[in-house]
């Protein structure tokens, strides 16, 4: 069991990760470039936790829990000397990460697992600086770490399978969803996120819509579905033959930007058109379509009511 954890890099992401782990009953040691910074950030995350508790978005005793479970170390070496798992959360600069991971891996116990919160750097590249790299993997939390449930878990080619299993189990105990994926630059989250931003930027550059309009359309149309259904589920519900037709239209207008994916073409050719045919990217049988529609309608209505209660986000364009 992973009982004691070090978080190296105590800023906004590292501090949030420390809160998550402490609230899940782990003892956490924070480290940073100086003992003073680690102490200051420990005090900050205790204050934040108490504020979150007052707002009703953390447990009522969160401030006390984090104060009792999180300590600040004088150095990286001190922080990692007697822990089961280390999460590196230093700035996204390869030289900084390499030096930090070298210090972590040379001083952590041989059996300690080591994760990196990198958002885009391939894990195999980072592993070059790690002693005993078979215990090393990517563990990519999203911002803000206490509230976003999904975490990318990224082994490199030499990562032990039991290391992945142990980290996924730890994340589950923290109320997170650990999702193992392959090691490529940008992983899944940021490849999707930046693909969307690229097309959004083109729409503004081309004068199709303002940034405000693009944001409004994204969050009130297809983005409204995303808390409940991912892109493959959405495509299966709509119908893969419908997607094929839309790709043909888009490709005719924007041949350099839209082409039908081969995996879509192959499924439609086999008659796998989504829920209505009982198989597409998923395998939801057609007879469950009414149940799926009922879930969808309730989910969207509940989200609509939540958005109405919260009101518009405090953003100015």
**Tally of CA atoms within 13 A in the half-sphere of 131 that contains its CB:** 13
What pLDDT does 1 receive?
85
Helix/strand/coil percent split, the chain, to 5: 55, 10, 35
Beta strand 150-155 with 136-141 is antiparallel
Contacts of residue 186, Cβ cutoff 8 Å, sequence gap at least 6:
120, 194
d(CA 89, CA 126): 13
Pull the structure tokens for residue 115: 């994760």
Residues 160/134, Cβ–Cβ less than 8 Å? yes
Residue whose C-alpha is closest to residue 240's, from 269, 271, 274, 266: 274
How high is the pLDDT of residue 258? 95
DSSP, res 70 = E
Phi and psi at residue 9, to the nearest 5°: 110, 100
| pLDDT computed for residue 92 by the predictor | 96
pLDDT 10s digit of each residue in the chain, 317 long? 899 999 999 999 999 999 999 999 999 999 999 999 999 999 999 999 999 999 999 999 999 999 999 999 999 999 999 999 999 999 999 999 999 999 999 999 999 999 999 999 999 999 999 999 999 999 999 999 999 999 999 999 999 999 999 999 999 999 999 999 999 999 999 999 999 999 999 999 999 999 999 999 999 999 999 999 999 999 999 999 999 999 999 999 999 999 999 999 999 999 999 999 999 999 999 999 999 999 999 999 999 999 999 999 999 99
pTM of the model: 0.95
- Asked if residues 5 and 85 have their Cβ atoms less than 8 Å apart, the reply is yes
Token pair belonging to 275: 């829920």
Do residues 183 and 154 make contact, with C-beta atoms less than 8 angstroms apart? yes
Give the SS3 label for residue 192: helix
3-state secondary structure (DSSP) of residue 154: strand
Query: What tokens does 113 get?
Result: 């697992």
Residue owning tokens 């990517």: 138
Domains of the chain from N-terminus onward: 4-180 (3.40.50.720), 221-310 (1.10.1040.10)
Q: What is the DSSP string of 31-42?
A: E-SSHHHHHHHH
| Residue pair 117/91 in contact by the 8 Å Cβ criterion | no
């Amino acid at each position: 069991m992973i009982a004691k954890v070090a978080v190296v890099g105590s800023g906004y992401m590292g501090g949030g990760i420390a809160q998550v782990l402490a609230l899940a009953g782990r003892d956490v040691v924070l480290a940073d470039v100086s003992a003073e910074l680690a102490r200051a950030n420990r005090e900050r995350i205790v204050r934040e936790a108490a504020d979150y508790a007052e707002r009703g978005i953390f447990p009522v005793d969160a401030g006390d829990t984090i104060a009792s479970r999180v300590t600040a170390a004088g150095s990286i070496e001190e922080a990692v000397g007697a822990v089961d798992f280390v999460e590196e959360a230093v700035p996204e600069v390869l030289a900084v990460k390499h030096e930090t991971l070298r210090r972590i891996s040379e001083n952590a116990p041989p059996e300690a697992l080591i994760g990196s919160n990198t958002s885009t750097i391939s894990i195999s590249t980072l592993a070059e600086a790690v002693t005993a790299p078979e215990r090393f993997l990517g563990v990519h939390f999203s911002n803000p770490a206490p509230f976003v449930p999904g975490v990318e878990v990224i082994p490199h080619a030499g990562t032990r399978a039991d290391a992945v299993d142990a980290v996924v189990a730890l994340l589950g105990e923290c109320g997170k969803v650990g999702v193992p994926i392959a090691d490529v630059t940008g992983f899944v989250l940021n490849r999707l996120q930046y693909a969307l931003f690229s097309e959004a930027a083109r729409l503004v550059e081309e004068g199709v819509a303002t940034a405000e309009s693009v944001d409004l359309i994204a969050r009130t149309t297809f983005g409204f579905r995303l808390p409940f259904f991912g892109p493959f589920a959405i495509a299966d519900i709509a119908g893969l033959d419908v997607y094929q037709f839309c790709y043909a239209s888009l490709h005719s207008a924007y041949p350099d930007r839209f082409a039908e994916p081969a995996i879509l073409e192959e499924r439609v050719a086999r008659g796998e058109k989504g829920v209505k045919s009982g198989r597409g990217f998923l395998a939801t049988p057609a007879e469950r379509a009414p149940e799926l529609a009922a879930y969808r309608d309730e989910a969207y209505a509940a989200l609509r009511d939540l958005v109405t209660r919260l009101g518009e986000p405090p953003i100015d364009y």
